[in-house]
Structure 1
Amino acid sequence: MVLDLGHIPVEDVEWGPKTLLDGSILQLNREDLVASAWGNDPRIASIETEIAKPGESVRIIPIKDVIEPRVKVEGKGGMFPGLISSVETVGEGRTHALSGCSVMTVGQIVGFQEGMIDMSGPGAPYSSFSKLLNIALVIKVKERISRHEHEVALRMAGLRAAVFLGETGRHAQPVEIQRFEMYPTTQVSRADRHLPRVAYLYMLLSQGLLHDTYLYGRDLKNLLPTLIMPTEVMDGAIVSGNCVSACDKNTTYHHQNNPIINELFKRDGQDLHFVGTVVTNANVTLMDKERSSNYAVKLIEMLGVDGVILSKEGFGNPDADTMMLCAKLEEKGIATTVITDEFAGVDGRSQSLADTTPRANALVSVGNANERIALPSMAKVIGDETIIDKMAGGQPGSLSEQGITAELQVIVGATNELGFELLSSRET
């Protein structure tokens, strides 16, 4: 399976009479953008659109999802299979990405675990999204719509808008084309046979209660672990439906640009042999945790690997799934590296994970989400910052005339467990 990913840099976004890509400038027609996002969804009451640029005194809150506009240029299927396009298997051919911009769904709060970003100031360095040209869809839904229907309406609106904007790059000439090649595990070149065989175990949040992720349009909490080609992720096979704590939530953008997958491809054939990706879920009951972990470990073992990179999403309950997987893999003699964030209290002295195992002897920390930060007021707010008191990481009194004081937990992606950001922790 070979995928060519063409990067088309977007250096500015502006409103105009038509939606088109003029060199590196993305011009947007506001009415067409709203129409594309709205579709025929009767649950939506209104959509307002805003553009937020790096360095501006702008705060965006509360953010549901972030999506990179992409378009399938060659090969089977289309973007976001099972939700926007058909369920045909993707991950081959050629895809174009509008690099440097995003679609953000914003608006009325769905669940308390949503987030924010500042485009400037001390909060900006904690989220890569502050460096993007963000096209915000501020969406209101009609009264008496359930929280689950609210989430669906916003998720689909964001995906529709991203596909609409992605089409502007269909005939553009990419500045860079990355080739990702993945072949059956039995096809190993003679030169690579001495390299350690490494797989990626990709845990996705799937606990229900607005903690959901979708694979080809199916809710993962109803699925057993499965093998996927990592290039499928780049074509939108995995979509976020999560209202989980913002700091370690995997938005759809994170999935599209998964840095673990990118790094494993980069090092394939150099100091390791990347043999594949297993998607697993985070469960609620002990029986489901046992069933899922047993099945995931079986798939990993069948790949005949020497080592595994295990990433998780969320905290608390998923810590148990993570440690269960790690212990079972290590018992099989498969060296396992875990990537996780920590909730160690504001002073960093509390137990940072809800569960542990002595077999977790290679752990990469991406920071303490309980660390507090003072965020000065911004000149413009897209959305509603008064809800910060209700968000995970905020508290009554978080918002004042001076700005917001809260935990890093409120910033989208601040401690993302795919290693997307720069925070870490060291043992002393």
Structure 2
Amino acid sequence: DVESVGEGKTFVLEGAAVVTCGRIVGFQEGIVDMSGKGAEYTPFSKTCNVVLVFEPKDGLEKHDYEKAFRLAGLKAAMYLAKCVYESGGAADKTETYEIAPFAESMKSYAGLPKVAYPYMLQTQGLLHDTYVYGIDAKRILPTILHPNETMDGAVVSGNCVSACDKNSTYVHQNNPVIRSLYERHGKDINFVGVIITNENVTLADKKRSSSFAVKIAGMFGVDGLVISEEGFGNPDADLIMNCRRAEMAGIKTVLITDEYAGRDGASQSLADAATEANAVVTAGNANMTVTLPPQERIIGFTEYVDVIAGGFDGSLKPDGSIEVELQAITGATCELGFNKLGAETW
């Protein structure tokens, strides 16, 4: 049975992550450097990782491989969580996250701007997929989620996309945008909820989803939106479309994205742009290069390093060191801010 989540108590094994490793789409896998220069850029160098390494049977279709891979990771995470929960240990700390029901929330905190969060999910297909309560998100119309539902696993990643800005399930559960909006709720904003929307590939689908997401925001009567993107290139069009529609409807926007500005940082950062996009937070330039030192122990596979997104011919050096763009480092330019990079322009 599938039941909605986001209420009650959730016990969290903070700082622990289950990492799935295998050959699904070789050119769009990622690297987690635990001790070298790359460790400064991936958030998963700071977690205690249980790594599952998968080898597929001959002839296994890639979509079936990814599904088995994904479900195995979730089962392993559930097993670890259950063991800790059943041990009966007390939590080190307790945190409370709550917002009022809509009817009450709309009237709360008079004088504070009402803010919603359009949460863009990667749904381009061909193993660029995200699941909401088990449903492929490319099949949904934008809808409302309580922020706590994401913390309890309502959104699950099935993305085999560029490593730097894919939102893993771990990142969805620990979304810093939602945490930050909660921190400011009742202080300088009235955080009214999350609007999930997708990033489909056809223009008609993009227009439909953008129109619907902004319509929901308008029905909330919000003053502002914080909009996060997942991925780059094609999804840049969705990001800018959402921004323009909202601004034209009189709703202020702040965008969160990353950049592909060339290794010198001088190229156009996004594939689309608009004058309305005048408040933008960047998670860094994915084309910046970094050299990872040789390691005594490697979990996984190195044969894709030269063809991985962010790699190039000669990335894997004879001494075992690796030179790649940040695009190849898992989570390095995460567009939810679950990373170490950023920039400010005033």
TM-score, normalised by the number of residues in structure 2:
0.97
Q: 3-state DSSP class of the match of 2:305? A: helix
Residue 144 in 1 paired to residue 59 in 2? Answer: yes
Structure 1 residues 203, 410: CA separation in 2 closer, same or farther (over 3 Å shift)?
Answer: same
1:385 to 302, 319, 322: 302
| Contiguous gaps of at least 5 residues in structure 2 | none
Q: d(CA) in 1 for partners of 2:187 and 2:344?
A: 28
User: Following TM superposition, by how much is the alpha carbon of 1:290 offset from its aligned partner in structure 2, in angstroms?
Assistant: 0.5
More strand by share: 1
CA distance in 2, matches of 1:125, 1:172: 32
**One-letter identity of the residue aligned with 2:30:** G
Is 232-241 or 396-405 further displaced after alignment? 396-405
Q: Which residue of 2 aligns with 1:418?
A: 336
Asked if structure 1 preserves the Cα contact closer than 8 Å seen for 2:128 and 2:158, the reply is: yes
- 1:172 is aligned with what amino acid? G
RMSD: 1.3
- Give the deviation of 1:425 after TM superposition: 2.8
The match for 1:197 is: 114
Matched residue, 1:42 = none
Quote the sequence identity (%): 53
- Distance across 1 between alignment mates of 2:45 and 2:34: 5
Contact 1:103 1:162 in 2 (8 A): yes
Q: Aligned ranges for residues 86-101 of structure 1 at < 5 Å?
A: 86-101=1-16
Cα distance change on mapping 1:351 and 1:186 into 2, 3 Å: same
1:295-318 alpha-carbon deviations (Å, 9 max, x no partner): 000011111100000000000000
Give the 3 Å change call, closer, same or farther, for CA 140–192 of structure 1 in structure 2: same
The aligned residue for residue 325 of structure 2 is 407
Q: Map Cα deviations across residues 346-398 of structure 1 (whole Å, 9 max, x no partner).
A: 11111110001110010011100000111111110001122111210011211
- 2:227, 2:255 within 8 Å by CA — same for their partners in 1? yes
Return the letter of the residue paired with 1:116: I
Code of the aligned partner of 1:282: E
Aligned to 1:179: 96
Equivalent residues of 2:26, 2:304 under 8 A apart: no
Q: In the TM superposition, what whole-angstrom CA distance separates every residue of 1:92-113 from its partner, at most 9, and x where no partner exists? A: 0111011111110002243421
Which amino acid in structure 1 is aligned with residue 328 of structure 2? V
Out of 319, 324, 341, which is 2:241 matched to? 324
Decide whether the 8 Å contact of 1:313 with 1:417 is kept in 2: yes
Matching residue's letter, 2:157: S
Please state if 1:110 is matched with 2:25.
yes
Of residues 193, 215, 235 in structure 1, which corresponds to 2:132? Answer: 215
Q: Would the aligned equivalents of 2:131 and 2:155 in 1 still touch at CA under 8 Å?
A: yes
Residue identity in the other structure for 1:415: T
Instruction: Report the number of matched residues.
Output: 343
Letter in 1 for 2:5: V
Q: Is the 8 A contact 2:113 2:188 kept in 1?
A: yes
> Contact 2:19 / 2:73 at 8 angstroms: preserved in 1?
yes
Q: Deviations over 1:57-98 (max 9, x none)?
A: xxxxxxxxxxxxxxxxxxxxxxxxxxxxx3111100111011
- Give the stretch that moved more between structures: 188-197 or 138-147: 188-197
Give the Å deviation of 1:184. 1.7
Letter of the structure 1 residue corresponding to residue 80 of structure 2: L
**What displacement does 1:114 show?**
1.4
SS in structure 1 opposite 2:94? Answer: strand
Secondary structure of 2:96's counterpart equals strand
Contact 2:163–2:328 under 8 Å retained in 1: yes
Partners in 2 of 1:245 and 1:190 — Cα distance?
42
The answer to whether the aligner puts 1:312 opposite 2:229 as a matched pair is: yes
- Report if the CA contact (8 A) 1:111-1:210 is conserved: no
- The question of whether the paired residues in 2 share the 8 Å contact of 1:97 and 1:169 is answered with no
Q: Tell me if structure 2 keeps the 8 A contact 1:114–1:244.
A: yes
> Counterpart of 1:158 in 2: which secondary structure?
helix
Does the 8 Å CA contact 1:311/1:417 hold for their aligned counterparts?
Answer: yes
Partner of 1:341: 258
Whole-angstrom distance in 1 between the partners of 2:28 and 2:313: 15
**Is the contact made by 1:196 and 1:305 (CA closer than 8 Å) also made in structure 2?**
yes
After superposition, the Cα gap between the structure-2 partners of 1:189 and 1:387, relative to the gap in structure 1 and judged at 3 Å, is closer
- Structure 1 residue aligned with 2:281: 364
> Are the equivalent residues in 1 in contact too, given 2:24–2:62 (CA < 8 A)?
no
Alpha-carbon distance in 1 for matches of 2:295, 2:136: 37
5+ residue gaps in structure 1?
A: 1-85
Measure how far apart 1:257 and its partner are. 0.2
Shift of 1:191: 6.7
C-alpha distance in 1 between matches for 2:123 and 2:143:
14
How many angstroms apart in 1 are the aligned matches of 2:189 and 2:26? Answer: 41
Bigger mean CA deviation after superposition, 257-266 or 181-190:
181-190
Structure 2 vs 1, CA of residues 111 and 148 (structure 1 numbering), >3 Å: closer, same or farther? Answer: farther
CA drift of 1:185 comes to: 2.2
Aligned mates of 1:150, 1:318 — CA distance in 2: 25
8 Å contact kept, 1:309–1:338: yes
Matched, 1:250 2:167: yes
Tell me if the contact between 2:157 and 2:169 (Cα under 8 Å) persists in the aligned partners: yes
1:23 corresponds to = none
Q: 2:192 aligns with which of 275, 293, 317?
A: 275
1:157 aligned to 54, 72, 79, which one? 72
Q: Which amino acid aligns with 2:82?
A: E
The structure, 1 or 2, with the larger RCO (C-alpha pairs under 8 Å, 6+ apart) is 2
Report the CA distance between 1:194 and its aligned residue.
Answer: 1.1
Secondary structure at the aligned position of 2:213 is classed as helix
Would you say the 8 A contact 1:110–1:151 is kept in 2?
A: no
